[in-house]
């Protein structure tokens, strides 16, 4: 247990260090943008006195390292400053949008994870058959297609031609749960098509790799049915790479939804980020990027811990 705790804390420390480095890159990347932020907010017609007053209001007259430390201290407490466009707190502007993004990611994950694991096991069981070849072609096609392209294809066939689902995922506060699922089905399906292919291929590869192990050969020699060999012997030992790839794809579902949210005009944090970039609302841009980075690092940490817990060789490296 001591080795396991030490490994978890090492991963946590590396994650925090990575997040610190990413926060530095995010803050100073905005600082390196051409032009004056105060001038961009006020417009070209602003007088020099007005621009100087805005610079003082935004704290731009202070050194950049001091402003970074203030921003980081506020971010740790959940305070990302004030929006330059609306004047509202950034945290309040992001919170509802981030909940919408988490819902969309959970919706897609609830469909993609079980389907990909089951299909991966079935394809591994039927490898080198026609079903395996067709599945490989379809998954490669899905992985190779950009998200926005898949989204427009789904809009064309499932919305424009058939009218089964709405093309725009507009949300209302008084919507019922099933209406919410119906309105967000197309963006969720777009994400499902992308991540299911990757997770299925990784599950298939993990199972096939284990099928060459001596204990699997022994189980086959004993006359164990093929499905039982995979389900009871191969699959439990393949959980480590499967958990890893599932966690990484969950991270993608949350951090990689920007294009999908823009295509379907979904009110999530990705759409908010695009709008903030267009309006040069830098506090929201910085906050969204930091949240994406923290989410990705956290899910990577969960993947590492899950792999350690399910793999005795990682729990006892000696």
Domains of the chain: which residue ranges? 2-72, 90-310
Give the contacts of 78 (CB within 8 A, at least 6 positions apart): 91
Does the pLDDT value for residue 130 go beyond 80? yes
Q: pTM for the full model?
A: 0.81
User: In this predicted model, what pLDDT tens digit does every residue of 204-218 receive, in sequence order?
Assistant: 887 777 777 787 778
Q: What is the pLDDT of residue 45?
A: 66
Give the contacts of 258 (CB within 8 A, at least 6 positions apart): 270, 271, 273, 274
pLDDT band of residue 117 (cuts 50, 70, 90) is confident
Does the pLDDT value for residue 228 go beyond 80? no
Listed ranges 27-41, 182-196, 214-228; the one with the highest mean pLDDT = 182-196
Tell me the percentage of the chain whose pLDDT exceeds 70.
90
Q: Are 88 and 82 in contact (CB under 8 A)?
A: yes
Q: What is the pLDDT of residue 41?
A: 67
pLDDT band of residue 39 (cuts 50, 70, 90) is low
Q: What CATH class does 90-310 carry?
A: mainly alpha
């Amino acid at each position: 247990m001591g080795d396991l705790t030490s490994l978890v804390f090492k991963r946590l420390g590396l994650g925090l260090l990575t997040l610190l480095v990413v926060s530095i890159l995010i803050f100073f990347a905005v600082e390196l943008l051409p032009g004056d932020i105060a001038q961009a907010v006020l417009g070209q017609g602003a007088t020099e006195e007005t621009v100087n007053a805005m610079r003082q209001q935004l704290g731009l007259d202070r050194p950049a390292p001091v402003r970074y430390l203030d921003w980081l201290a506020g971010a740790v407490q959940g305070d990302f400053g004030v929006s330059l466009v609306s004047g509202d707190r950034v945290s309040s502007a992001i919170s509802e949008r981030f909940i919408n993004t988490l819902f969309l990611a959970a919706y897609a994950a609830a469909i993609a994870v079980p389907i990909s694991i089951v299909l991966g096991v079935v394809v591994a069981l039927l490898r080198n058959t026609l079903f395996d070849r067709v599945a490989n072609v379809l998954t490669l096609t899905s992985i190779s297609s950009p998200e926005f392209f898949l989204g427009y294809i789904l809009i064309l066939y499932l919305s424009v031609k058939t009218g089964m689902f709405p093309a725009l995922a507009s949300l209302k506060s008084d919507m019922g749960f099933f209406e919410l699922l119906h309105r967000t089905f197309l963006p969720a399906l777009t994400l499902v098509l992308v991540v299911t292919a990757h997770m299925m291929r990784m599950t298939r590869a993990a199972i096939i790799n284990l099928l060459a192990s001596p204990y699997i050969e022994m189980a086959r020699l004993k006359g164990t049915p093929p499905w039982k060999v995979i389900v009871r012997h191969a699959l439990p030992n393949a959980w480590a790479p499967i958990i890893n790839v599932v966690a990484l794809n969950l991270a993608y579902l949350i951090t990689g939804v920007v294009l999908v949210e823009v295509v379907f005009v979904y009110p999530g944090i990705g759409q908010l980020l695009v709008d903030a970039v267009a309006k040069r609302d830098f506090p929201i841009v910085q906050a969204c990027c930091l949240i994406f980075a923290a989410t990705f690092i956290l899910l990577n940490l969960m993947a590492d811990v899950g792999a350690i817990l399910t793999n005795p060789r990682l729990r006892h490296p000696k």
